[in-house]
């Protein structure tokens, strides 16, 4: 996987040379297709093996008591999650954009995560003004990216953790242009400072059984929308992910 500095170098070269820009786009498209084909070829036997294991367990419930059976099932589950995350990462740049009402979108997102959060003694709340600007986005992909952030906050939470989803418009006076700012923050344990530089790198994980692709997928989707994501965290105090995205313009609509 390319590191962030490599991506910036490639983008610089593509901007300077139209012919190289076309060639690199073709190489990237071919690479994306190859990853999809490889993932598909791996997924087929994995699905068959998983189905066989489930059938064995159904016909012979006693296998649940066998040594390593539960670990084998957990490993299969992790493998399927890895393939899913790989597919999400590979297709993160493909968007089906439409006009999105941010206020409704964020409240609906919080409502979906509420039950899950309450199981972990987390409280999720949204603070967003009624006059938030719309954005032009792929609602499915955007929901996936923000759900990843909520999932991380919930999984790393302690009792009575407060998770906040805050949104506001950044006026041109505060930024180079009007943008939407969405912040997802918590008052949990925070992230060790040494983990922060590689937090969005693919296949880098500090969680047990993590795939290392969740935050990489989120970053890829946000950047595909022309936005950016940053993180700040204090150990013992909490973490805040900040997302900036361009607001909706009539000519951007792709319905």
Give the tokens for residue 223.
Answer: 């950047």
Predicted pLDDT at 167: 95
Query: What digits encode the pLDDT tens for the residues 182-202?
Result: 999 998 888 899 999 889 988
Distance of CA 87 to the CA centre of its chain: 12
Of the ranges 18-27, 106-115, 117-126, the best mean pLDDT one: 106-115
**pLDDT higher than threshold 50 for residue 255:** no
Decide: 93 and 45 in contact? Cβ < 8 Å. no
- CA angle 125/128/132 to nearest 5° reads 155
Higher pLDDT, 190 or 4: 190
Q: CA 226 to CA 245: how far, in whole Å?
A: 6
Q: Where are the alpha helices (DSSP H) in the chain?
A: 4-16, 18-59, 69-90, 102-119, 139-155, 214-224
Among 253, 104, 125, residue whose Cα is nearest residue 183: 125
Mean pLDDT of 102-129: 87
Decide: 131 and 91 in contact? Cβ < 8 Å. no
Q: CA 220 to CA 211: how far, in whole Å?
A: 16
pTM for this prediction: 0.73
Higher pLDDT, 137 or 19: 137
Three-state DSSP state, 193: helix
Predicted pLDDT at 20: 79
Mean pLDDT of 168-188: 80
Among 227, 225, 220, residue whose Cα is nearest residue 32: 220
Token pair 């900036």 is found at 244
Token pair 């066989």 is found at 52
- Percentage of the chain beyond pLDDT 90 is 35
User: Taking the CA atoms of the chain, what radius of gyration do you get in angstroms?
Assistant: 21
Mean pLDDT of 74-97: 82
Please state, rounded to an integer, the average pLDDT across all residues of the chain. 84
pLDDT band at 249 (very low <50, low <70, confident <90, very high): confident
């Amino acid at each position: 996987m390319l590191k962030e500095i490599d991506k910036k170098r490639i983008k610089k070269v593509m901007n300077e040379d139209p012919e190289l820009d076309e060639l690199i786009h073709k190489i990237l498209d071919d690479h994306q297709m190859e990853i999809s084909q490889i993932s598909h070829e791996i997924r087929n036997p994995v699905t068959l093996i998983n189905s066989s294991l489930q059938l064995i367990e159904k016909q012979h419930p006693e296998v649940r008591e066998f040594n390593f059976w539960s670990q084998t099932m957990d490993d299969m589950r992790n493998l399927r999650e890895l393939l899913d995350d790989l597919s999400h990462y590979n297709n993160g740049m493909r968007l089906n954009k439409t006009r999105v009402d941010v206020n409704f979108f964020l409240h609906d997102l919080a409502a979906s995560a509420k039950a899950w959060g309450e199981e972990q003694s987390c409280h999720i709340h949204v603070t967003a003004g009624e006059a938030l600007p719309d954005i032009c986005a792929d609602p499915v992909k955007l929901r996936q990216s923000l759900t990843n952030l909520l999932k991380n906050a919930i999984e790393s939470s302690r009792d009575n953790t407060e998770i906040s989803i805050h949104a506001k418009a950044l006026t041109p006076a505060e930024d180079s242009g009007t943008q939407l700012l969405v912040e997802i923050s918590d008052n949990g344990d925070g992230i060790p400072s040494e983990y922060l530089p590689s937090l969005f790198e693919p296949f880098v994980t500090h969680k047990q059984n993590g795939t290392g692709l969740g935050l990489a997928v989120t970053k890829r989707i946000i950047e595909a929308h022309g936005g950016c994501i940053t993180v700040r965290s204090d150990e013992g105090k909490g973490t805040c992910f900040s997302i900036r995205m361009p607001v909706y313009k009539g000519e951007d609509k792709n319905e």
